[in-house]
């Protein structure tokens, strides 16, 4: 589904991603962990099509297409979804209008008619239930005045509306209370199908109790320095990142 090969990227001339290779197959859940500032969100931004990150080397192929050549909106319509670490507030733009436009753009791309107003509202209702989001949130402006946790739930709600093939969730679990964490995880599990995949960026093993990853990667200083099964997350929770940092430094010396 997604093949990243030796991806290097920089922001304003500063090199951030220093050669990442990663393959995600249909139906897989990959977790990416790693210390602050290691480049996790930057990787997510490159995949979603953020222009200020400059790709300097490497390739990314998504469903056989060259992802790096596609505009952000086209990637979305082809099934890529980014759950933002810091969702953006957009005053004056209502959630309803935002989602209606987005859903109908996706439908147009698939050659479908726009949804009728009543079908759309029904869809909103169903998905709201699925992610147990407060009904009133959907009547407000996009993320405006939402609490941290509400913003994260709203990301999962949007994911449910757009039914992506590849969802990249950037710290969607941060700032969630225990109930919200369970709801978010349930949302993901309900959307999980054999043909769609997830990349879950997180700092906490806790989330991975609910969303069981097939693979866990550690990103450090712009490189994937360790890849293993889900037991790696438990080990990191116990021991922190120091031992990995040491391993990396020793390897460099060796």
Partner 1 sequence: MNGKSEITEKYLGLYKDNINKISGISSAFINSFRAPAFEKFSELGIPTKKNEAYKYTNLNIFFDHDYENYFMPVPSDFIKAEEFRCDVTDLDAHGIVLLNGFYPTLNEKLRQLPSGVWIGSLNEAAVRFADIFEKHFGKYAKSETDGLIHLNTAMASDGVFVYIPEGVTLSKPVQVVNLVQSDEDMFNQHRNLIIAEKNSVFSIIICDHTLSPQKFLTNAVTEVFVGENAHFDIIRVQNEHNNACKITNTFIHQEKNSVTSSNNITLHGGLIRNSTYHHLGGEGAESYSYGLFLADKWQHIDNFVNMDHAFPNCTSNQLFKGVLDDMSTGAFNGRILVRPDAQGTLAYQKNNNILLTDDAKMDTKPQLEIFADDVKCSHGATIGQLDDDALFYLQSRGIDKREARLMLMFGFAHEVIQNIKIEPLRERMDNLVMQRLKGELSRCASCMVKCG
Residue 98 interacts with partner 1 (CB under 8 A): yes or no: yes
Angle at 65 between CA 60 and CA 70, to 5 degrees: 80
The span from the CA of 133 to the CA of 95, in Å, is 13
Residue 92 interacts with partner 1 (CB under 8 A): yes or no: yes
Residue 41 interacts with Mg ion (CB under 5 A): yes or no: yes
Nearer to Mg ion, 150 or 170 (CB): 170
Residues 91-150 that bind Mg ion (CB under 5 A): none
Nearest of 96, 93, 184, 180 to residue 144 by alpha carbon = 93
The span from the CA of 159 to the CA of 155, in Å, is 6
Q: Contact with partner 1 (CB under 8 A): which of 38, 42, 154, 158?
A: 158
In sign, the C-alpha dihedral spanning 60, 64, 70, 72 is negative
Q: Contact with partner 1 (CB under 8 A): which of 37, 91, 145, 148?
A: 91
Nearer to partner 1, 8 or 50 (CB): 50
Look at strands 14-24 and 2-11 and give their pairing.
antiparallel
Q: Contact with Mg ion (CB under 5 A): which of 38, 85, 143, 158?
A: 85
Stretch that binds partner 1, among 85-93, 174-182, 194-202, 218-226 (CB under 8 A): 85-93
Q: What element of type H or E holds 112?
A: none
Half-sphere exposure of 48 (CA within 13 A, CB side): 19
Angle at 224 between CA 157 and CA 6, to 5 degrees: 95
Under the rule (CB under 6 A), what is the footprint of ligand ATP? 11-12, 16, 34, 36-42, 85
Q: What element of type H or E holds 195?
A: none
Residue 213 interacts with partner 1 (CB under 8 A): yes or no: no
Nearer to Mg ion, 82 or 138 (CB): 82
Q: How many CB atoms lie within 10 A of CB 105?
A: 14
Q: Could you tell which of Mg ion, partner 1, ligand ATP, none binds residue 84, using a CB distance below 5 to 8 A set by kind?
A: partner 1
The span from the CA of 151 to the CA of 144, in Å, is 9
Nearer to ligand ATP, 12 or 231 (CB): 12
Residue nearest to Mg ion (CB): 41
Chain residues binding partner 1 by CB under 8 A are: 48-52, 71-73, 75-77, 81-82, 84, 87-88, 90-93, 97-98, 101-102, 105-106, 109, 141-142, 158, 162
Chain residues binding Mg ion by CB under 5 A are: 40-41, 85
């Amino acid at each position: 589904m997604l093949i990243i090969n030796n991806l290097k990227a920089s922001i304003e001339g500063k090199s951030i991603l220093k050669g990442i290779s990663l393959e995600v197959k249909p139906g897989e859940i990959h977790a990416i962990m790693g210390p602050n500032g290691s480049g996790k969100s930057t990787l997510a931004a490159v995949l979603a099509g953020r222009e200020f990150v400059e790709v300097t080397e490497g390739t990314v192929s998504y469903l056989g297409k060259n992802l790096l050549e596609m505009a952000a909106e086209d990637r979305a319509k082809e099934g890529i979804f980014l759950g933002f670490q810091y969702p953006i507030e957009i005053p004056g733009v209502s959630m309803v209008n935002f989602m209606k436009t987005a859903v109908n753009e996706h439908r147009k791309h698939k050659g479908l008619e726009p949804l009728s107003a009543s079908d759309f509202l029904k869809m909103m209702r169903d998905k709201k239930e699925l992610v147990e989001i407060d009904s009133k949130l959907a009547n407000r402006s996009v993320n405006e005045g939402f609490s941290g946790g509400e913003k994260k739930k709203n990301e999962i709600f949007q994911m449910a509306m757009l039914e992506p093939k590849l969802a990249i969730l950037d710290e969607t679990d941060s700032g969630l209370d225990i109930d919200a964490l369970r709801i978010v995880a349930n949302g993901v599990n309900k959307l999980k199908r054999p043909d769609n995949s997830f990349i879950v960026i997180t700092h906490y093993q806790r989330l991975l109790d609910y969303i069981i990853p097939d693979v866990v990667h550690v990103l450090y200083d712009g490189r994937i320095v360790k890849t293993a099964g889900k037991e790696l997350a438990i080990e990191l929770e116990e021991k922190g990142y120091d031992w990995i940092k040491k391993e990396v430094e020793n390897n460099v010396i060796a």
